[in-house]
C-alpha cells in the first residue's frame, strides 16, 4: 500500500522557526520511510489571515484528494474552524499543534479569547491531533476539549553532535537562540544582564529579526541604552553550520521564554552538552533535565539575574550541569523516532 500524505503549511516551509524546522524534518523522515509526502503551501498571513488569505487556504485544502491523509500545521489550522468543519468527513484530517495560538505573548485579551475559541472549534473537527509535548497534550484535554485518545505526543528529534568545547579566556560566552518575538523574553534577559555589568560575560542572540520588527528594534535600543554594543551580538537567523559553531563556542545557554510548547532551542543546547538557564514556562521543565538547568519563573529579571550570577561565577557548577546535559543528550529522541511515532498514528487513521 502506498502511504500518501499532504503536509499543509502556512507560507514558506524554509521559514527559520522551530515549528517549521519540525515540519521539515518530519516530512523528510517520513519520505525516507516510504511515505509519499507532498507539501502544500496554503498561503501566509497566519495566524491573523485576511479574508482573501482565509479563502485561498480553504480552496487549497479542500482540493486535496481524499486518498491523502491531510496534516495541517496548527499555525493555520486553529484559525480555520469553518474549513476544518467542511473537511471533517475526510478519513484523515490531522492537526499538528506546536503550541496553542492563544498562548502567544503580546496578544490582547480579546485576541487571545478569539484564538482560543477558534482553535477549540477547529480541533473538534480533527480526526487526530499531534503535539510536541505532554504539556501541550494536557492543555488540549483540559482547555480545548480534545479527547486524550485523539492526541499523539511526538517530541521533536535531535541530531547527534559533538559536545561544545566552550571558551578558555575567562569570559563566559552566553548563547540565546530564538526568533525576536515577545514570547522569547529577550527583554527580560537584557534587563537581567544590566544587573551583571561587572561580571565577565558576552551574549550572542541568534534568531529571525523579521517576524516582529518592533520587538527587534526595541532589543536594539535596549542594547544601545545599556552600553552593551561590545558585549551583546544580535546576529539574526543564521545557517545551521554557523549555529553549530555558536553552540561549540558557548559556555552557557540562556533563554527567558514566556511560554514554550516544547522548546527546541533548549533541547538543542542539551544535545551540545551545554548548561541551561531558562524558565518554568510551558513545557520547558519537561524538555530540560533538572540537573542540567536552573529554571526561574518567567518575566522575572531578578530571578534570572540571580541564576546567571551563580552560573557565570562558578565554573564548577557549570561543569556539573554540563555533565548532566551530556548524559541527558544520549536520551534525546532522534528525528526518526519522532517520525516513527507520527507514522504509527497516521497508519491507524488510514
The CATH number of the domain where 320 resides is what? 3.40.50.2000
Residues of the chain with pLDDT under 50: 1
> 241 lies in a domain?
yes
Residues 31 and 49 both lie in one domain:
yes
Q: How many CA atoms lie within 13 A of 303 on its CB side?
A: 12
Task: Evaluate whether 136 touches 97 at the Cβ level (below 8 Å).
Answer: yes
202's grid cell: 558576552
Do 259 and 343 belong together in one domain? Answer: no
Q: Which grid cell sits at 49?
A: 489571515
220 assigned to some structural domain:
yes
Q: Is residue 53 in some structural domain? A: yes
Same domain for 127 and 199, yes or no, is no
Residue 58 has a CB neighbour count (10 Å cut-off) of: 17
pLDDT at position 247, please?
A: 98
| Inter-residue contact 51 to 73 (CB < 8 Å) | no
Residue 179 sits in the same domain as residue 139: no
How do 276-279 and 128-131 pair as beta strands?
unpaired
- Domain containing 142 equals 4-157+333-349
pLDDT recorded at residue 59: 96
List C-alpha distances in Å: 201 to 90, 167, 197, 207. Answer: 55, 11, 8, 20
State phi, psi for 291 to the nearest 5 degrees. Answer: -65, -20
190 in a structural domain: yes
Same domain, 178 and 325: yes
Predicted local distance difference test score (pLDDT) of residue 90 = 77
Q: Give the largest Cα separation in the chain, rounded.
A: 65
- Specify if 167 maps to a domain: no
**How many domains are there within the chain?**
2
- Residues 216 and 271 both lie in one domain: yes
Together in a domain, 86 and 151:
yes
* Whether 184 and 148 share a structural domain: no
Residue 205 has a pLDDT of: 98
Amino acid at each position: 500500500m502506498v502511504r500518501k500524505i499532504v503536509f499543509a503549511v502556512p507560507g514558506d516551509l524554509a521559514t527559520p522557526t522551530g515549528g517549521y524546522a519540525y515540519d521539515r524534518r518530519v516530512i523528510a523522515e517520513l519520505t525516507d520511510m516510504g511515505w509519499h509526502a507532498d507539501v502544500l503551501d496554503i498561503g501566509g498571513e497566519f495566524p491573523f489571515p485576511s479574508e482573501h488569505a482565509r479563502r485561498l487556504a480553504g480552496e487549497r485544502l479542500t482540493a486535496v484528494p481524499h486518498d491523502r491523509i491531510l496534516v495541517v500545521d496548527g499555525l493555520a489550522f486553529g484559525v480555520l474552524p469553518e474549513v476544518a468543519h467542511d473537511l471533517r468527513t475526510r478519513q484523515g484530517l490531522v492537526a499538528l499543534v506546536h503550541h496553542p495560538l492563544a498562548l502567544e505573548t503580546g496578544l490582547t485579551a480579546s485576541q487571545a479569547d478569539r484564538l482560543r475559541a477558534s482553535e477549540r472549534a477547529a480541533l473538534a473537527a480533527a480526526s487526530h491531533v499531534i503535539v510536541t509535548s505532554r504539556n501541550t497534550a494536557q492543555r488540549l484535554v483540559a482547555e480545548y476539549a480534545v479527547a486524550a485518545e485523539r492526541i499523539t505526543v511526538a517530541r521533536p528529534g535531535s541530531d547527534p553532535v559533538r559536545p561544545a568545547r566552550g571558551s578558555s579566556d575567562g569570559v563566559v560566552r552566553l548563547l540565546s537562540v530564538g526568533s525576536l518575538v515577545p514570547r522569547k523574553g529577550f527583554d527580560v534577559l537584557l534587563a537581567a544582564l544590566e544587573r551583571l555589568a561587572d561580571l565577565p560575560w558576552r551574549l550572542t542572540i541568534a534568531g529571525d529579526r523579521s517576524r516582529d520588527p518592533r520587538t527587534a528594534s526595541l532589543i536594539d535600543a535596549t542594547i544601545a541604552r545599556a552600553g552593551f554594543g561590545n558585549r551583546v551580538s544580535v546576529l539574526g537567523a543564521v545557517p545551521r553550520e554557523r549555529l553549530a559553531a555558536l553552540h561549540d563556542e558557548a559556555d552557557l545557554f540562556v533563554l527567558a521564554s514566556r511560554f514554550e510548547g516544547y522548546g527546541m532551542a533548549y533541547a538543542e543546547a542539551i544535545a551540545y552538552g551545554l548548561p541551561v538557564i531558562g524558565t518554568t514556562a510551558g513545557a520547558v521543565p519537561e524538555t530540560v533535565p533538572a540537573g542540567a538547568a536552573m529554571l526561574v519563573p518567567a518575566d522575572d529579571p531578578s530571578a534570572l539575574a540571580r541564576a546567571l550570577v551563580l552560573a557565570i561565577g562558578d565554573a564548577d557548577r557549570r561543569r556539573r550541569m554540563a555533565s548532566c546535559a551530556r548524559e541527558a543528550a544520549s536520551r534525546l529522541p532522534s528525528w526518526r523516532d519522532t517520525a516513527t511515532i507520527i507514522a504509527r498514528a497516521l497508519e491507524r487513521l488510514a
